[in-house]
Amino acid sequence: MKTRTFSGYTLGLLAAAILTTSVNANPLTRDNGSPVGENQHSQTAGSNGPTLLQDVQLIQKLQRFDRERIPERVVHARGTGAHGEFIASTDISELTMAKVFTPGQKTPVFVRFSSVVHGTHSPETLRDPRGFATKFYTADGNWDLVGNNFPTFFIRDAIKFPDMVHAMKPDPRTNLGNDARRFDFFSHLPEATRTLTLLYSNEGTPQSYRHMDGNSVHAYKFVNAKGETSYVKFRWKTLQGQKNLDPDEAAKIQGLDFSHMTNDLVGAIDRGEYPKWDLYIQTLKPGQMAALDYDPLDPTKVWPDVPERKVGQMVLNRNVDNFYQETEQVTLAPSNLVPGIEPSEDRLLQGRLFSYADTQMYRVGANAMSLPVNRPKVSVNNGNQDGALNAAHTVGSINYEPSRTQPRPATESARYSRLPLSGTTQQQAIMRTQNFKQAGELYRSYDTKNRRDLVNSFGQSLAGSDDESKHIILSFLYKADAEYGKRVCKAAGGDLNRVKRLAAQLKD
C-alpha cells in the first residue's frame, strides 16, 4: 500500500481550499445581497496610502454600527422576554366577547419583564417595581396587558407621570442617584404611601421573574355581546411561588450576578422548566362602584373585598432567537385592545393609552407593528401608508374610506360601549382618596422579618432627605399604621412628636 505524504505548503493549500468551500457555501454579503470579497482589510491607496471612501464594505459596516441602537425606553429599559401560550379555561362570555377567553382557546403570547426606573445595563438586584407586560396574538388582533408586579401605582393622574419619573431617575446635574429628590416629590403625594411600602419591602427586590406575580394595576372594562359592561382587574399568579430577596441576599447576589433575573428565566426555559402563571380576574358592575369607601378606578388602590376568578393559564416555553429583534423592538402599549376589552375612566390609564403607543412609535417607527414580534396573526386592513421602513406589499389604489369600489366596512360588534356622562369639565382631585388605609393593611400583612426589612430599607433611604420632606413622609406612614411610622421614624432619625403632629392633620 502506497503511503501519501504532504508538505506543509500542500497542507496549507488544502486547508485554504476547505475553508473557501465552507465560506462559499454560505457567503458573506452586504445588505444589498452582493458578496463580500474582503472583510479583514480596508481598501487603501497603495501599501502606505490613505483608506479609500469607495470601500463600500467598510463604509456600510461603520454606518450600520453607528445605527445599532434605537432610543432607549425612558422607563422599563432593562428587560428580558420570552414566548409562550395562554390557554383559556373558563367561560366568561357573560362578561366579555373577547375571543381570547373562549374555553380551550390557545393564544400565542410574548412577555417582556423589566425593571422600571433603572437603565439598560443596571443590575437586576436594584430596588425597583418590575414590569410584567404580555402581548396576546388573539384571533381579534393583538391585546397588550401592560402591568407590573405591584398591584398598585404611585400616582393616579397621568399629568404627574413625567415628574414622577424625573424624580426617581438620577440627578440631572450629577447623573447620580439621589433619594432626597424622590422623597421631596412623594412628600406631596400621600396617595403613594401604599406603593412606597411595596417598593421598600422585599417585594421591591424579587428573586426572579418566575417567582413574582403580575397585575394590570388599572381597571379595564369587559364588554359582552349585548353591549353590557363590567369593570375588571387582571392578576397573574405565579405557580412557582412568590420569592423575594432580603437586603443581605440582594447585596450578595449583586456582587456575583449582574443579570440574575434574566439568567434565571433564560436558564429555566432552556432546561425545559417552563414557568407558568394562572390568570385571575376581579369584576365589578357599574352599579357596585359607588358603594365602596374608595374609588375603584384609583390605581393606587387594590380591591380587597372583590372575589377573584381564574380564567386561564400561561406558560412560557421558548426563549427569543434574537434579543434586539424581539425583546428590544417589541412595542407593548395598553392602547392595543380587542373587542370585548376597553379602557376604564382611570385617569392614569387614560394618559398611558396615548403615551405608550406614542413612545413606541418614536422609538421603533411608524411601521413598528409590521415587525415579526409585533405583527398580528390576523390580516391588517386599513388606509395607513408610507413611513420609514415600510415593508408591506400594498396593492390597489384605494387608501381612503368609505369607497364604493373597495369597501372596507367597520365591524358593528366592535363599536365602543356607551358611557353615561354628566356635569362639566374639571381639573381637580378624585373625591374618595383614602390615601393611607390600604398601606396600613399591607404593613400589617407582613410577618416579623419582612416588617423589619421594610423598616430598615425605608428608614435608610429616607434618612438623607431634607428635614421637612422626611417628616411629611413619616407622617404618612404613621397615619397608615402607628407602629410602622414609629419604627421607620427611629430608623430614619426623625422626631416622633413632630411626626405625630403632622399625622394628626392628615385626612384619610
Catalytic positions are 76, 148
Q: Which residues of 217-232 are buried (b: 16+ CB within 10 A; e: fewer)?
A: bbbbbbbbeeeebbbb
Nearest to 208 by CA among 278, 85, 115: 115
- CB 180 within 8 Å of CB 168: no
Count of Cβ atoms closer than 10 Å to residue 428 Cβ: 5
Amino acid at 456: N
Beta-strand ranges (E) seen in 328-370 are 341-343
CB 116 within 8 A of CB 131: yes
**Which three cell numbers mark 459?**
428608614
Q: Residue 211 contacts by C-beta under 8 Å, 6 or more apart in sequence? A: 238, 240, 241, 242, 243, 244
Cβ-defined contacts of 362-365 (< 8 Å, 24+): 362/71, 363/70, 363/71, 363/73, 363/331, 364/70, 364/329, 364/331, 365/389
At 255, list the grid cell: 456582587
- Is residue 133 within a helix (H) or strand (E), and if so which, with residue range? strand 130-138
**What residues have CB less than 8 Å from 149, skipping those under 6 apart?**
129, 130, 131, 132, 203, 206, 212, 213, 214, 215
